[in-house]
Structure 1
Amino acid sequence: MFVWVNSGTNFQRLLFDCGEGLLRQIRQPDIKAIDHLFLSHTHIDHIAGFDYFFRRNYDREGTPVYVWGPEKTSEIIHHRLLGFIWNLIGGAPGKWYVTDIGEKEMASFSFKTSEGFELKHPEGTMDFNGIVLETPGFVVKAALLNHIIPSVAYSVEEKESLNISKDRLQGSGFPQGPWLEKLKDFSLDENEVITLEGKDYALKDLRKELLIRTPGEKIAYLTDFIYDEVSRQRALSLISNCDTVVCESQYSYHDEDLAKKNYHMTTHQTASLAKEANAKKLILFHISERYSREEDYPILLEEARQIFPQTYFPEEWDIME
Structure 2
Amino acid sequence: MRPIVHCHLVNGPFGDPSLYAEIMFERRAMLFDLGDLSPLSPRKLLRVSHAFVSHAHMDHFAGFDRLLRVLLGREKTVAMYGPADFIDRIEHKLHAYTWNVIGNYDGNLIFDVSEVHDGGIVWSARFQSRHAFRREPMPEARIEGDVLASCGALQVRCAVLDHATPCLGFALEERAHVNIWKTRLDELGLEVGPWLGALKRALLQDAPDDTPIRALRRSDEGVTPVTLPLGALRALATVVAGQKIAYVVDARDHVANVARIERLAWRADVLFIECTFLLADAAHAMRKNHLTAHRAGLIARHAQVKRLAPCHFSTRYAERGDVLSEEAQRAFQGLGPTA
Instruction: Flag whether TM exceeds 0.5 (same fold).
Output: yes
The 1:218–1:96 alpha-carbon spacing in structure 2 relative to 1, beyond 3 Å, is same
Give the unaligned 5+ runs of structure 1. 195-201, 311-321
Q: Equivalents in 2 of 1:33, 1:174: separation in Å?
A: 36
Which SS does the other structure have where 1:64 is aligned?
strand
Q: TM-score, normalised by structure 1?
A: 0.83
List per-residue Cα deviations over 1:187-223 (Å, max 9, x = no partner): 86415799xxxxxxx9576455443113322111110
Matches within 5 A, 1:1-321: 1-6=19-24, 8=25, 10-19=26-35, 22-61=36-75, 63-92=76-105, 93-103=108-118, 104-117=120-133, 119-128=134-143, 129-167=145-183, 174-176=188-190, 184=200, 186=202, 189-191=208-210, 206-207=232-233, 209-293=235-319, 296-309=320-333
Q: Equivalents in 1 of 2:210, 2:71: separation in Å?
A: 48
Deviates more, 1:209-218 or 1:81-90: 209-218
Q: Equivalents in 1 of 2:117, 2:201: separation in Å?
A: 38
How far the C-alpha of 1:3 sits from its partner, in A, is 0.5
Of structures 1 and 2, the one with the larger relative CO (CA 8 A, separation 6+) is 2
Which SS does the other structure have where 1:238 is aligned?
helix
The 1:211–1:248 alpha-carbon spacing in structure 2 relative to 1, beyond 3 Å, is same
Q: Equivalents in 1 of 2:60, 2:200: separation in Å?
A: 41
Q: Equivalents in 2 of 1:177, 1:223: separation in Å?
A: 44
How far the C-alpha of 1:86 sits from its partner, in A, is 1.3
Give the unaligned 5+ runs of structure 2. 1-18, 214-227, 335-339
Answer yes or no: is the 8 Å Cα contact 1:140–1:157 preserved in 2.
yes
Q: For the aligned residues, what is the CA RMSD? A: 2.7
Q: Equivalents in 1 of 2:237, 2:148: separation in Å?
A: 30
How far the C-alpha of 1:304 sits from its partner, in A, is 1.4
List per-residue Cα deviations over 1:263-320 (Å, max 9, x = no partner): 1000110000111111111111111122232xx322222211222249xxxxxxxxxx
The 1:271–1:121 alpha-carbon spacing in structure 2 relative to 1, beyond 3 Å, is same
Q: TM-score, normalised by structure 2?
A: 0.78
How far the C-alpha of 1:161 sits from its partner, in A, is 2.6
Q: Identity of counterpart residues, as a percentage?
A: 27
Answer yes or no: is the 8 Å Cα contact 1:183–1:203 preserved in 2.
no
Answer yes or no: is the 8 Å Cα contact 2:156–2:173 preserved in 1.
yes
Which SS does the other structure have where 1:307 is aligned?
helix
Answer yes or no: is the 8 Å Cα contact 1:40–1:153 preserved in 2.
yes
Letter in 2 for 1:151: C
